[in-house]
Structure 1
Amino acid sequence: MTLAPTQRLLDEAVAARRGIGAFNVLHLETAEALVAAAEQTGLPVVLQLSENCVRFHGGLEPIARATLAVADASSAEVAVHLDHAEDAELALRAIDLGFGSVMYDGAKLPFEQNVATTRRVVAHAAASDVLVEAELGEIGGKDGAHAPGVRTDPDEAARFVDATGVGALAVAVGSSHAMTERVAAIDLDLISRLRDAVPVPLVLHGSSGVSDDLIVAGIRSGLVKVNVSTHLNAQFTAAIRDYLEANPTAVDSRKYLAAGRDAIAREAARLLELFGSAGKDPNG
């Protein structure tokens, strides 16, 4: 199956009032695991490459082309997205490589500068029908740059979306990046007000720190795209630790990487089904 446009996947999720999982790729094994989860569940998935991932691999093209190839070969509905690009030029390159969507993250910039640079990315993306996600209102835990307690203002969000033409908006509602415990409290009332204020799908970053029940409640309040990275990374690492403890003489890295890959596939499948279940009547 060919790559799925992120815009269509989000539109379908909005229509069904369910969430869609957007999971970060760190290396080829992650991409393979996430696609396996989508195939197993029959649900769509968004594969995300972050600016940090690109830096780790020494450049965009090698890991991007590998991820696009894995997605393109899948029988599932798979979109590929650039996550948290603070470098606008990186976002432009991802658009040209065939990504279905990109996130330009100008949240550290003053409002007007964020608007101007985001509009530039949106203009480039429009020629290729690529969706642009942006961020307004800082999300905690991002390299210490985002102050805890910051929240996205609905009125400012409405002005930002109108001024930039973005197709999705990442909002600060109480989650925090890189959390290893699922204890974050997201503001459901604020999510509902943001949903009513802006005409584009809302994105939750830092979802690894949010419990299952609260994520489902957040989707029912208006969240659409739910980003998960740290939680899945923990599954991968724990499975590798277990394998090496059980097989102390192992030297073939494929054996323990396969254990990690399988662990991600299992948990990603569970999360896809959890996010998809939000569209069902809890009393039905």
Structure 2
Amino acid sequence: MARHALRDILADFARTQRVLLGINADNPEMLLGIAQALHAEPVPMFIQLTPETLSIWGYDVLTTLMSTVLDPLPSPISWHLDHATALEDVQQALAWGFTSVMYDGSALPFAENVRQTQQVVQWAHARGVLVEAEIGHVSKPGEPPEWAHLTSPEEAVAFVEATDVDALAVAIGNHHATHVAGSHIDVARLAAIHAVCPVPLVLHGASGVSQDMYDTLRTHGIAKMNFGTELRRIWWQTVHQLPDKKPRDVQREIQRLIGDGVREKIHQLSLAQHRA
């Protein structure tokens, strides 16, 4: 199936209290492992790459691989640019055929975040591309502490109305680069945002959220959950466990284990019964 923006599918998942996966890939073997999982479990999914990853490997290298292993999959898959903070990165991703983009102006003042996001929406919607943005700020290690702040219902509504984004990432106690039990979700805040926000909500840093929270999240508006840290842990653990193996053998094992990890996440979120 051809790559897809997933705009209508994400909206449908939000209406029916289901969750789409956003899976981050940092290198070719992770992309191959994700593709293996989706051959076995054909569900719609956002395959997410950051500008940093694309810069290291090159758009030409990674988009060629993505065309080869993702476009033939039986379910709709979005090529998703994750956490772009520069407008130039958005323009480049659009030129290379990405079907969704996440512009992250959450560290900017509200008015500047709105202005930059409006520009992204103008470019992306002209191409039929989904736009995700962030209000509030989901923190990660090493950032200035003054950047971190939780999303309020009032600013969420104002931001969506001003920008016409398709999905909104919220800060509700979640954190990037944490593992299970590292985040403590403010359910009351999420419920208040969901009650007034007209677009699907996105949870970044989902690796730091306990599986016990998944049903609560989906019934309170979270329609997309992003996972990266769990897969990176698989990558590092495999490398450390196989120090005497040839790189190709380590990469083959990484692909297998990444595929298993993605399939497990699909099952945990009960997506397999809702195949597109």
Deviations 1:128-180 (A, max 9, x none): 11011111101121541454862101111101000011101010011111113
- How far residue 243 of structure 1 moved from its aligned partner, in angstroms, is 3.2
1:128 is aligned to 2:120: no
Q: 1:107 to 1:216 in 2, by over 3 A?
A: same
1:112 corresponds to which residue?
Answer: 111
Higher relative contact order (CA 8 A, sep 6+): 2
2:45 corresponds to which residue?
Answer: 45
Q: 1:206 to 1:42 in 2, by over 3 A?
A: same
1:276 is paired with a residue whose SS is coil
Q: Which of 252, 259, 267 is the matching residue for 1:265? A: 259
- How far residue 181 of structure 1 moved from its aligned partner, in angstroms, is 4.4
Q: Which deviates more, 132-141 or 37-46? A: 37-46
Q: Which deviates more, 125-134 or 46-55? A: 46-55
Deviations 1:100-133 (A, max 9, x none): 1001111111111111111011001111110111
What is the 5 A alignment of 1:187-198?
Answer: 187-198=186-197
In structure 2, list runs of 5 or more residues that go unmatched: none
- How far residue 8 of structure 1 moved from its aligned partner, in angstroms, is 2.9
1:25 corresponds to which residue?
Answer: 25
1:159 is aligned to 2:153: no
What is the 5 A alignment of 1:85-234?
Answer: 85-141=84-140, 143-145=142-144, 147=146, 150-234=149-233
2:22 is paired with a residue whose SS is strand
What is the 5 A alignment of 1:9-88?
Answer: 9-57=9-57, 59-88=58-87
- How far residue 65 of structure 1 moved from its aligned partner, in angstroms, is 3.7
Q: For residues 70 and 145 of structure 1, what CA distance do their matches in structure 2 show?
A: 38
Q: For residues 64 and 87 of structure 1, what CA distance do their matches in structure 2 show?
A: 20
- How far residue 23 of structure 1 moved from its aligned partner, in angstroms, is 0.6
1:7 is aligned to 2:1: no
Deviations 1:174-222 (A, max 9, x none): 1111113433111122112111221111110111111111133212221
2:131 is paired with a residue whose SS is strand
- How far residue 11 of structure 1 moved from its aligned partner, in angstroms, is 2.3
Q: Which of 250, 255, 261 is the matching residue for 2:249? A: 255
2:133 is paired with a residue whose SS is strand
Question: Structure 2 length normalisation: TM-score?
Answer: 0.92
- How far residue 278 of structure 1 moved from its aligned partner, in angstroms, is 11
Question: Structure 1 length normalisation: TM-score?
Answer: 0.89
Pairwise CA RMSD: 2.1
In structure 1, list runs of 5 or more residues that go unmatched: none
Q: For residues 243 and 30 of structure 1, what CA distance do their matches in structure 2 show?
A: 17
Q: For residues 88 and 21 of structure 2, what CA distance do their matches in structure 1 show?
A: 26
Q: Runs in 1 of length 4+ with deviation above 4 angstroms?
A: 146-149, 277-280
- How far residue 60 of structure 1 moved from its aligned partner, in angstroms, is 3.4
Q: 1:114 to 1:219 in 2, by over 3 A?
A: same
Q: For residues 67 and 186 of structure 2, what CA distance do their matches in structure 1 show?
A: 35
Q: Which amino acid letter does the alignment assign opposite residue 256 of structure 2?
A: D
Q: 1:23 to 1:89 in 2, by over 3 A?
A: same
Q: For residues 223 and 162 of structure 2, what CA distance do their matches in structure 1 show?
A: 22
